[in-house]
Amino acid sequence: MITLYSFGPNFGLADPSPFVLKVAAWLRLAEIPFSWSADLNHLRRAPKGKLPFIDDNGQIVADSWFIIRHLQRHYDDPLDRWLSPEQRAVSSLVEKSLDENFYWTIIHARWIRDDTWPTIRQAFFGGMPWPLRQLVPWLARRTTRNAFIKQGMGRHSDEEILQIADDTLRSLSLLLGDKQWIMGERPCTLDAVVFAFVAQVTLIELDNDLSRLARRYDKLLHYCARINSAYFSADETAAG
């Protein structure tokens, strides 16, 4: 049995991390059973200091990209074996665009902008005893802000960051078109990836400039809602 170590449900999603949700969606689309182990304290023993990681019958694998490649190798590539080499190439490049670029627009909306940050702070740090609930979120936000600037996204204005997000969402909407799945009539790894990231800005129970922008893309919104309803239960998306 595979165990997926995660943050846990929040804001109406099975996990507020697109990287955790990517792995969970991949496993669900591939119909591979797994169990959740949700606890922020998992970060302390995560091999790379971040979530997710999995325990696959005693083999620990960290980082969503390496987790999915491990699962593809060990479970006969159930989602992508029907793809052409060209489709695989497109899938790989889009995944990296979301991992390395669009992700930072989500960070901006949640951790950098002052309108959403109080909600994030309360959700992740509100249960800590004083004075930790004052000190830890301040340190976490400062660390995130520094990484945001070093990555390069933090050198843009709010308006420019929304333009970057809008370009990605428009491109994904065009790629999806009127199809049921990104590549056609069957799901593939890219569907797990696109769902995981776009759900974070459409289905998420947060209201900010990024979520309002994303919800204008009806095709993406309905696509994420359909996958979420079909593959994740109400219990899995309700914060405990």
DSSP 129: P
Mean pLDDT of 130-151: 94
Mean pLDDT of 81-89: 97
Mean pLDDT of 73-96: 97
Q: What is residue 240's predicted lDDT score, i.e. its pLDDT?
A: 60
Domain 2-237 has CATH 3.40.50.300: no
Q: Which two tokens stand for residue 50?
A: 């971040």
Angstrom distance (rounded) from CA 51 to CA 148: 18
DSSP-derived 3-state class of residue 164: helix
Q: Which two tokens stand for residue 7?
A: 């943050």
Angstrom distance (rounded) from CA 4 to CA 21: 10
Mean pLDDT of 159-166: 98
Angstrom distance (rounded) from CA 1 to CA 95: 26
Angstrom distance (rounded) from CA 183 to CA 7: 30
The answer to whether residues 220 and 198 touch, using CB atoms and an 8 Å cutoff, is: yes
Q: What are the structural domain ranges in the chain?
A: 2-237
Q: Over 80: is that where the pLDDT of 239 sits?
A: no
| Maximum separation of any 2 CA atoms in the chain, in Å | 55
Name the least confident of 78-82, 141-145, 236-240: 236-240
CA distances from 185 to 7, 8, 83 (A): 32, 31, 11
**Greater confidence, 113 or 40?**
113
